A and B are shown apart, each in its own frame.
Chain A
Amino acid sequence: MSSLPAEDRAPGRLERSAIGGVLVREIINFSSYWRSTTFSSTVEPTIYLLAFGFGFGSLVSVVGGYDYIDFVATGTVATAVLFSSIFPAMFGTFIKYKFQRTYDAILAAPVDTEELVTGEALWLAMRASVYGCAPLLVGLVFGLSPSWGMLAVPVINFVAGYGWACTGVAIAGWLKGIENFNYVTSAVITPLFLVAGTFFPLTGLPGWVQALAQLNPLFHCVQLVRHAAFGWEGWADVWNFSFLVLFGLLMWRVAIAAMERKLID
């Protein structure tokens, strides 16, 4: 209609209005399920934190120079980010593609796959940024000392969450059936989750495992959060952060390629 001024301009790529439309859909939908999601995204890492913190904490009081509960509180931030981004991305993408056929409707609108994936990942990253702070807050209640660096944690969470969300979308895009998600969870996510320095420092592990951990984005996220809380470590943190940014950019393109393959035939 002539009343729409945007009509005459040729639309470009990654338009704000298209990504915004995808975000609005997620935000309005969120209003109908936020309680359950918030519950699971915050209670789960808190339980990990309390169980490991007090369980192991009674055996080991100091790890890597930190109180064990402080060590775990900062470590589980990364876990909370991982769980609250990669799983909703995997399942949400698959459900919206296959069962609800939401993506058919969105792609019939002036939204391209690239914008769809970007919008979904941004939304999950925002959520993960907030949910990831839960263990830190619980930690503060149990004696973690507040520090200015902690204000950077939501930013770290956002960047890591964006990468994990894109990873989840890419997995949903590559796999044919939802039952195959089990392979990914067991073979990829669980090892990443355990070999990241969350619950125990990697220094006790064989050298090759430590080397491999350098490729684990979760490890870099754990390092950054810990340093944000206990003191930055200069170039090491620049590297950690750069790694997360690169991880996010790489998985963003991989997710778009996977979804284009799936959605456009």
Chain B
Amino acid sequence: MSSVAPALELKNVVKNYGPIRAVNGLDLVVAEGSCTGLLGPNGAGKSTTMRMLTAQTIADEGEIRVLGHELPGDSKAARARMGVVPQLDNLDTTLTVEQNLIVFSHLYRVPSSQRKAAIERVLKIANLGERRDSKVDELSGGMRRRLLIGRALIHQPQLVLLDEPTVGLDPQVRQELWALIDLLRSEGVSILMSTHYIEEAERLCDTVTIVSHGTAVAVGAPEALVTEHAGRDAVEIYGSPERLREVEGEMAKEGFPTRRTGTSIAVLGLDDAAGRAPAGERRPANLEDVFVLLTGEEIS
């Protein structure tokens, strides 16, 4: 970890909705210039966390600092230097691509002398130069998403929040967006990205915070998390549901963590197993193993 102040820091943050505790003592750090993934299943508190970072949701307890500003009191100053890509598309659909960017250049206070250049820059980043006069209604899903991301960059923010940036998109579009996010990363923009797509986190994030029930259950670089929680290799054992249940029991006795994949049981933590490793299909362990292991299987 560098000694530079983090772009974003949450300490012991709690948010309740009536009797439901959506965020439960969450700690989260986005180091300056890094891309951090907030990885968790649906309902883990990711969206609530994202909303707290723009002070649209106010935490009940804990501390939130964004770009050196204390939230919620100082949130407006933080928002001025932060770009937000929402999960749900909220572009103005009857306006053109360029008009959408003009509106946001005003909302984000881009000085009028720089407005034109800022819009051209975003059109280039989002690769929408040729569609500048198209109404948003006429754009494909991928183009809309690119515009949504580009719109958040109009004021050259130091920190970008991406809330499930590729949810519901086909693989081609997803790759396109990954390239775009990678470009931002290479420019030194700090990024916090919530996602439940493992591959997305693995490819783009320097650090991942895995959340479950509103708490961080693991933090680290993706490879480090895999090594720590799942080991180098996983062994997948296939069979009937009864057989799989048996395997789970046997492995639990042996002290090996397992996780279900739906069609098989993946046995993890085999680095020191030597001869005790079960027979099955061996493959490298991955972040999905860690994710399911840490968030997936408790019966609630």
Contact = CB atoms under 8 A, between A and B. Distances in A.
Nearest to B81: A7
A110 B56 contact: no
Contacts of B74: 10
Contacts of A4: 80, 109-111, 155
Contact of A265 (B58, B77, B84, B90): B58
A78 to B, nearest CB: 31
Contacts of B57: 264-265
Which of B90, B93, B107 has most A Cβ within 10 Å?
B107
A152 interface: no
Contacts of B99: 28
B86 to A, nearest CB: 6
A168 B111 CA distance: 33
Nearest to A115: B76
B37 to A, nearest CB: 20
B94 A101 contact: no
Contact of A1 (B77, B95, B102, B155): B155
Interface in B103-154: 103-104, 106-111, 114
A222 B90 CA distance: 40
A7 B111 CA distance: 12
Interface string A51-74: 000000000000000000000000
B293 interface: no
A121 B260 CA distance: 55
Interface string B47-58: 000010011111
Interface in A234-265: 263-265
Contacts of B232: none
Nearest to B78: A110
Interface string B225-251: 000000000000000000000000000
B295 interface: no
Which of B55, B88, B108 has most A Cβ within 10 Å?
B108
Contacts of B108: 21, 109-110
B158 A100 contact: no
Interface string B66-106: 00000000101101110010101010111100010011101
Interface string A107-125: 1111110000000000000
B96 to A, nearest CB: 9
B90 A104 contact: yes
A24 B108 CA distance: 12
A125 B56 CA distance: 27
Contact of A109 (B77, B102, B104): B104
A6 B81 CA distance: 10
Contact of B114 (A3, A6, A11, A33): A3
Contacts of B86: 101, 104-105, 108
Chain A interface size, under 10 / 10 to 19 / 20 to 34 / 35 or more? 20 to 34
A25 B92 contact: yes
Contacts, number: 100
Contacts of B58: 264-265
Given A24-B102, A105-B90, A110-B109, A10 B77 contact: yes
A28 B93 CA distance: 12
B80 A32 contact: no
A25 B77 CA distance: 21
B125 to A, nearest CB: 15
Contacts of A104: 56, 86, 88, 90
Nearest to A264: B56
Which of B57, B81, B86, B92 has most A Cβ within 10 Å?
B92
A180 interface: no
Given A109-B107, A264-B58, A1 B156 contact: yes
A4 B108 CA distance: 10
A106 B95 contact: no
Contacts of B156: 1, 3
A11 B77 contact: yes
A29 interface: yes
Which of A3, A22, A32, A105 has most B Cβ within 10 Å?
A105
A108 B56 contact: yes
A5 to B, nearest CB: 8
A21 B106 contact: yes
B192 to A, nearest CB: 13
A235 B81 CA distance: 51
Nearest to B58: A264
A106 B100 CA distance: 12
A261 to B, nearest CB: 12
Contact of B106 (A6, A10, A20, A100): A20
A109 B93 CA distance: 19
Interface of A: 1, 3-7, 10-11, 17-18, 20-22, 24-25, 28-29, 32-33, 100-102, 104-112, 263-265
14 contacts: A1-B156, A4-B80, A6-B109, A21-B106, A24-B103, A28-B92, A32-B94, A33-B94, A104-B90, A107-B54, A109-B104, A109-B107, A112-B76, A264-B57
Closest 9 A-B residue pairs measured CB to CB? A21-B107, A108-B84, A101-B90, A110-B80, A109-B107, A21-B106, A24-B106, A32-B94, A1-B156
